[in-house]
Amino acid sequence: MVKQDLAVIDRVNSIFVELFELKRESLSEDRRIFEDLGLDSLDAIDMVIRFQKEFHIKPTTQEIQKLKTLGDIYTLIHHHMVTSVASAPT
Amino acid sequence: MSRPRIVITGVGVVSPLGLSVPEVLKAYRNNDCSATYVEEWNDKKIGVKTRVASRCAAFDESGIDRRLRRSMSRVAMMAKVATGQAIEDAQLTGLMLQSERTGISYGSSFGGTSTIEDYFRGYQNSGVLIDGVGSTTFLKIMPHTCAANIAISFGIPGRIIASCVACASSTQAIGYAYEALQLGVVDRIICGGAEELSPTVAAIFDVLNATSTHSHDKPKKAARPFDINRDGIVVGEGAGTFVLETLESATARSARIYAEIVGFYTNNDASHMTNPSVAGLVSCMQGAIENARLVPGDIDYVNAHAAGTQAGDRAESLAIASIFGNGPTVSSMKGHIGHLMGAAGALELVACLGMFADQAVYPTLNLENPSPDDGGIRHVMGEKRAQRVRFILKNSFAFGGVNASLVLRKAEGSGTW
């Protein structure tokens, strides 16, 4: 199990509720973002733009293309946030 | 050479006077006015001088699916809802909509102005030029946003004509629809125009001292076209959509016919961006009458563009007087509904359909003392006036010197609204 952060999960879910008008109870880590949640390529762009602003992260195109489920998103954001903190100047 | 006859078989509206055609016609007939005081514009960060506008306060976009709504600014949402009404009214079938022989001709002054403001807010907040840009920003702003969103919303794959000529946009779009049908390149066409209200739109007229600024305590009296005490434009928003088809097509499917479009002409002054040319307006109206194969004496009533500005009202009055003398009756609907810019011609055309039905002409609301520089045209003042209404000349004029005029004929047996 890849480590995830409950606060990140809550913030990601809130973004999905706001941007894509989904019900919070429909969001779980196994849900596929295109097939199950109904997003498409335009939604995916807005999703990434929002993540960049909300979490101050810069995922690569390859990382974004690998995202399949909400769980993948939770993990990616958690990873970037941890990496960002670890590499911050002390 | 004989030309196909073009008729209106469906109408839909989103307007400050109401969200359905019967509501809007009731308001015109009752001399209601939709202008209100805009409290938010007191904010110094908005910066406009006018505080009066004509807004679709009751419009609710929540019924539009998110997948469609995400690429729509308010202008396209209103266009979509008005078009849904028109399609239902015309009883177009799914097969008709899905045909490439069904076209769309739709206009607005800009596209989504509120999205432009959102874009600048993003820049203002972060200092990064493109920070306000998302995947659908352009789709909401683009000049053909209404036409493209209508096409996707209703699955219409035919040609798109997107007029983008400021306040003549909807009249020109309807005229181009008429011409496309006459050319035989479509079997039916959805046409009209829309505009959304935002401070950015108001500012365009405001900076030119063309908005109403002396009637903030009496917004219902602010728009006074042709009056000696006219106070400028009351900006507004809305959408009006029509379904046009040939008379042959409408008759074959027993469609209800509201009116016939018999003439259209458009030109430009090629002289000044904002000061209208009397000669240009004369040429436009005469062109439409000639296109209708009529003579000026055939016109029973002129539905004027007159927005309540000194220069615009005067030039149009003189142009009408030059063609007709003391001929047909003349009125402007902008006292009732304000100036809906890209939607103005469409919502004023709805009034014309009511006049055909009533065999009466509606007055210029708030016109009490006609300006003496009006060339002696025959104003309609006070209450609606019963008269024969067989042919109507409908004008729309715009910044950039663009002029557009339609000639409408009462349909046989029309009018049950």
Predicted local confidence at residue A1, as pLDDT: 42
Residue with tokens 């030039």: B315
Contact residues on chain B for A22, CB-CB shorter than 8 A: none
Would the pLDDT of A2 be above 60? no
Predicted local confidence at residue B417, as pLDDT: 59
Contact with chain A for residue B134, Cβ under 8 A: yes
From the list B351, B262, B258, the residue with the least C-alpha distance to B304 is: B351
Are B160 and B89 in contact by the 8 Å Cβ rule? The answer is: no
* Shared fold status for B6-252 and B263-410: yes
Supply A41's token pair: 């390529």
The pTM score is 0.94
A2 CA: distance to closest CA in chain B (Å) = 31
CATH architecture of the domain with residue range B263-410: 3-Layer(aba) Sandwich (3.40)
The predicted model gives B393-412 an average pLDDT of 96
pLDDT in tens, B1-56: 689 999 999 999 999 999 999 999 999 999 999 999 999 999 998 999 999 999 99
Report ipTM for this prediction.
0.83
Residues of chain A with pLDDT > 70, as a percent, come to 89
A5 CA: distance to closest CA in chain B (Å) = 27
Contact residues on chain B for A42, CB-CB shorter than 8 A: 70-71, 135-136
Predicted local confidence at residue B129, as pLDDT: 87
Q: Where do the domains of chain A lie? A: 6-87
The predicted model gives B193-198 an average pLDDT of 96
What phi, psi does B189 have (nearest 5°)? Answer: -150, 140
The span from the CA of B173 to the CA of B163, in Å, is 6
The predicted model gives B176-205 an average pLDDT of 95
Task: Please pick, among B144, B305, B336, B379, the residue that the annotation labels catalytic.
Answer: B305
Query: Using the beta-carbon criterion (under 8 Å), do A49 and B66 form an inter-chain contact?
Result: no
> What single string gives the DSSP state of each residue in B12-66?
EEEBTTBSSHHHHHHHHHTT---EEE-GGGGSTTT--S--EEE--TT---TTS-H
**CA distances in angstroms from B276 to B200, B281, B400, listed in the order given:** 23, 8, 9
B305 is catalytic: yes
> What single string gives the DSSP state of each residue in B371-396?
-TTSTT-EE--SS-EE---SEEEEEE
Average pLDDT of chain A to the nearest whole number:
91
Q: Where do the domains of chain B lie? A: 6-252, 263-410
Picking from B61, B62, B65, B67 by the largest number of A CB atoms within 10 A of its own CB, the best residue to mutate is B67
Predicted local confidence at residue B125, as pLDDT: 87
Residues of chain B with pLDDT > 90, as a percent, come to 91
The predicted model gives B156-169 an average pLDDT of 97
Contact residues on chain B for A49, CB-CB shorter than 8 A: 134-135
When the candidates are 3.40.47.10, 3.40.50.2300, 1.10.150.120, 3.20.20.70, the CATH number that belongs to B6-252 is 3.40.47.10
Predicted local confidence at residue A88, as pLDDT: 62
Would the pLDDT of B344 be above 60? yes
Q: Which CATH superfamily is domain A6-87 in?
A: ACP-like (1.10.1200.10)
pLDDT in tens, B104-146: 999 999 899 999 999 888 888 888 888 889 999 999 999 999 9
Residue with tokens 């879910």: A13
Would the pLDDT of A85 be above 60? yes
Contact with chain B for residue A21, Cβ under 8 A: yes
- A residues 25-84 lying closer than 8 A (beta carbon) to B: 38, 40, 42-43, 45-46, 49
